[in-house]
Structure 1
Amino acid sequence: PDLASVLQDIGRNGINGFYRGEVGATIVAAIKRRDGFITARDMASPSSQWVEPVGMQYRDVTVLELPPPTQGLTALALLTRLQRLPPAELAAGPGLIAAYRAARDAAYGLRDRLISDPDFAPVPAEPFLDPDAAVTADSVGPDGGDTVYLCAADEHGNLVSLIQSVAYDFGSGIVAEGTGILLQNRGCYFKLDPAHVNRLEPRKRTMHTLIPALAMKDGRPWALFGSMGGDGQPQLHTQVLINLVDHGLDPQEAVARPRFRIRAGGQTVGVEATYPGAAELARKDASVQLLPQAHHTLGHAHAIVLDSHAVWRAGADPRSDGSVETVP
């Protein structure tokens, strides 16, 4: 009922009622009671940006991701390195996992060394798109989280690839009393090292993991895709895209195929038990952990693809509680 009341208030008073009215004051009070620093002035001055995506050519499609401070360049860095392999070597199996481990180390190293708020420091795209560029960096982040991805397309050509999140499971774990609103903790990705590019600073946006994606073919939108999964989202994006582009799968099969995820830090690999060769790989390699089917760290990927007959086809991940819906 508290959240319903807030939604009704937004319906009556719009955005100003939320940020500058009673709801905003309640959120500020909840944070201050816990020794936080947010003020009414902070709440009253939100801002959004309309930005150009970052992109690259992968086979015959152009892949578009969100720019910094998101980790979109990390997904492109993975694709840049995997694109050097012929499609036959991208078949599911131990060989693909080995290729991903090497590509992941390079891509995430660049991410953790270079990506932050571009309003505070420029973020060069060139190293991410150079298959030979590499740095060393510690990559540590949550395996889970509270994220939802969705996509939509209509007969007029309007497309939406959308992701939203409160970061960790249940975010900060704090609900602003009387609002039903769960407060996020996205700031956990900031670094406390004063020399780090992503150091904590006032009014700064941290590097974050949220990356809804889109792909173009022949200059027209061709696919929408994305997944929850925190740090693992670039790995999930690229596995779905390889299924679509290199293996020619329809979107439902592309998001449902067994997959793997190299965990934060790169020291272990979680592999779905039904993935080809998973059991043998786990016996030979102690760093490989077999995961039950539909394990949450493997993401909930969804996709919409324009087929050769100009018909939109969609796929919803069976690991999730999501679904494909046609709305008249």
Structure 2
Amino acid sequence: MNFDATRYRYPSRRTVVFGSRGMVATGQPLAAQAGLDILKKGGNAVDAAVAAAACLTVVEPTSNGIGGDCFALVWSGGRLHGLNASGPAPALADAGMLRGAGHREVPRYGWDAVTVPGAPAGWAELVRRFGRRSLGEVLAPAVACASEGYAVSPVTAQMWKNAFRAYSGRCDGDAFRHWFETFCPGGRAPMPGEVWRSPDHARTLARIAESGAEDFYRGELAERIGVFAQRSGGWLRASDLAAYRPEWVEPLSANYRGYDVWEIPPNGHGIAALMALNLLKGFGLPDERETAEVYHLQIEAMKVAYADVLAYVADPRFMSCTARDLLSEAYADERRKRIGAAALDPAPGRPPRGGTVYLAAADGEGNMVSMIQSNYMGFGSGLVVPGTGVALHNRGCNFSLDPESPNCLAPGKKPYHTIIPGFLTKDGAPVGPFGVMGAFMQPQGHLQVVSNLVDFGMNPQEALDAPRWQWIEGRTVQMERGVPADIASSLESRGHNVRMIDDPTPFGRGEIIARTSFGTLAGGTEPRTDGCVAAW
């Protein structure tokens, strides 16, 4: 695929970046540089991706951390590999207890939403299987950044400020004290350009590096996490951590107009993007992207797909249908009949039964990585394990408390997961990694980015710059201010409830690396954050 970097249909805030020997794209420049440094020291794309991922826990703690989960798609050895490093609910988890306490949903803050963190195990497993450098070398930039400190970037500073305001109003009690001590030691969030450091975070990263993550799951760190949970009313125990292993999985794909689009299978919801693309490819789109018809068809396809995903997707051991059922062409043909000229109210069909960071990395040898990790909802649960800098995620918020739901909270069960790395191939050859972070925006971002690249021939930067929409519920859809007013008006006339949004935050943040027909790399980064493409 040869992207024309000189052609832009939408005013770009950045230009596409080219490289030949390696590239790392992240939402924070220091993390991208950390990954590129590893490449220049002899590491490969996997080493670079893990270096950037670990660094992001320091330089963008507003969206991810050591105490979160990660997923990765790795192109190596002529094929695509999938890693699911998400963790299950603790053995003591009890949905009935939460229902009995009057909860209709899993609480957002505190221990009830904390599942076993998978990110450290994911880093170690990626480096073990595909890396060229030691985990100690790969994590060294993150350790140095946490120990020596760094100047906080503008978008991260704003998200930090928002989190401080939210946590100050909702996180009371001694268990939450450590979050404020770690991330707001001066009684406030750091300002843009202000240096923030976390020696505890540095020491924990060093211990993970030295032990190959064993200390986090079966050592002193695991004991400290378990003791903190037991003393402050949590379900998590050291035994839950000791039992955890990340899983290698077979990625799912759907062919969209000649390109194979790849996602991690459930418990992640990347399948939503594939299902929506299966629906969309049955329609002929206008040549021009900025038309009401394009927006309408994309939104309707996403709504129909999401209706099924929210009803059926969970830990695959508990699903009543398989991913293959949901991705069948026959089912797509049947569901496509629901899409007409007017906005619909989505409802699930009957299939046949049978706060996040994203990064991309590539090297000059053909290896490519699509990786995503998260603490969910900003910093996560509001809990930091004393003396470690480990902010624990609240991924369990995505569990249902409905006993009839396949996604109902249960011991040892993985929750419905929103973070999804994406990858494109064509005719069995890699095009490259892509991703758009942002909770339930992610499959919607994937649909729009893939359509921008494939249907409208945009280069990676154009595909990220283009204005976005996000379906919320029913007929309600949010639109960025960049969407032309006449399109918004036309969508309203079709029955859509359009809300124009000035804040770019709800529309996700993405990165793309694509291999060109010249064998070089073309990278795009998100204009809605502090994104950076570091190229070699």
- Determine if the TM-score, normalized by the shorter chain, exceeds 0.5: yes
- Secondary structure (helix, strand or coil) at the match of 1:6 reads helix
Per the alignment, residue 71 of structure 1 pairs with 269
Q: Which amino acid aligns with 1:307?
A: T
Per the alignment, residue 143 of structure 1 pairs with none
Q: 1:118 to 1:283 in 2, by over 3 A?
A: closer
Per the alignment, residue 358 of structure 2 pairs with 149
- Secondary structure (helix, strand or coil) at the match of 2:296 reads helix
Per the alignment, residue 136 of structure 1 pairs with 347
Per the alignment, residue 427 of structure 2 pairs with 218
Aligned mate of 2:326, from 104, 110, 127: 127
1:295 corresponds to 2:493:
no
Per the alignment, residue 93 of structure 1 pairs with 291
Deviation at 1:283, TM superposition (A): 7.6
1:10 corresponds to 2:213:
no
Segments of 5+ residues of structure 1 without an aligned counterpart are 138-145
> Which region of structure 1 is more displaced relative to structure 2, 85-94 or 206-215?
85-94
Q: 1:179 to 1:240 in 2, by over 3 A?
A: same
Deviation at 1:160, TM superposition (A): 0.3
Which aligned segments of 4 or more residues in structure 1 are displaced greater than 4 angstroms? 281-286
Separation in 2, partners of 1:99, 1:20: 50
Per the alignment, residue 45 of structure 1 pairs with 243
1:204 corresponds to 2:416:
no
Contact 1:171 1:185 in 2 (8 A): yes
Q: Which amino acid aligns with 2:444?
A: Q
Separation in 1, partners of 2:434, 2:270: 13
- Secondary structure (helix, strand or coil) at the match of 1:325 reads strand
Aligned mate of 2:483, from 269, 272, 275: 275
- Secondary structure (helix, strand or coil) at the match of 2:396 reads helix
Deviation at 1:206, TM superposition (A): 1.1
Separation in 2, partners of 1:36, 1:321: 35
Separation in 1, partners of 2:377, 2:482: 27
Cα deviations across residues 73-123 of structure 1 (Å, max 9, x unaligned)? Answer: 111111011111213177233222322332222111111111111133464
Contact 1:89 1:96 in 2 (8 A): no
Segments of 5+ residues of structure 2 without an aligned counterpart are 1-198, 339-345, 349-354
Contact 1:148 1:163 in 2 (8 A): yes
Deviation at 1:31, TM superposition (A): 2.2
- Secondary structure (helix, strand or coil) at the match of 1:74 reads helix
Contact 1:211 1:233 in 2 (8 A): yes
Q: 1:203 to 1:246 in 2, by over 3 A?
A: same
**How many pairs were matched up?**
317
Cα deviations across residues 3-49 of structure 1 (Å, max 9, x unaligned)? Answer: 11111222333322121222112212222233211112111111111
Deviation at 1:217, TM superposition (A): 0.8
Contact 1:82 1:103 in 2 (8 A): yes
Per the alignment, residue 187 of structure 1 pairs with 396
| Bigger helix fraction | 2
Deviation at 1:278, TM superposition (A): 5.1
Per the alignment, residue 141 of structure 1 pairs with none
Sequence identity, in percent? 37
Separation in 2, partners of 1:68, 1:62: 18
Q: Which has the higher contact order (CA 8 A, sep 6+)?
A: 2
> Which region of structure 1 is more displaced relative to structure 2, 9-18 or 42-51?
9-18
Contact 2:510 2:525 in 1 (8 A): yes
What RMSD, in angstroms, separates the aligned Cα atoms of the two structures?
Answer: 2.0
Q: Which amino acid aligns with 1:184?
A: H
Deviation at 1:323, TM superposition (A): 0.7
How high is the TM-score relative to the length of structure 1? 0.90
Separation in 2, partners of 1:90, 1:56: 24
Q: Which amino acid aligns with 1:84?
A: G
Contact 2:225 2:237 in 1 (8 A): no
Q: Which amino acid aligns with 2:284?
A: P
Per the alignment, residue 166 of structure 1 pairs with 375
Separation in 1, partners of 2:442, 2:528: 15
Cα deviations across residues 120-147 of structure 1 (Å, max 9, x unaligned)? Answer: 346422234422238825xxxxxxxx20
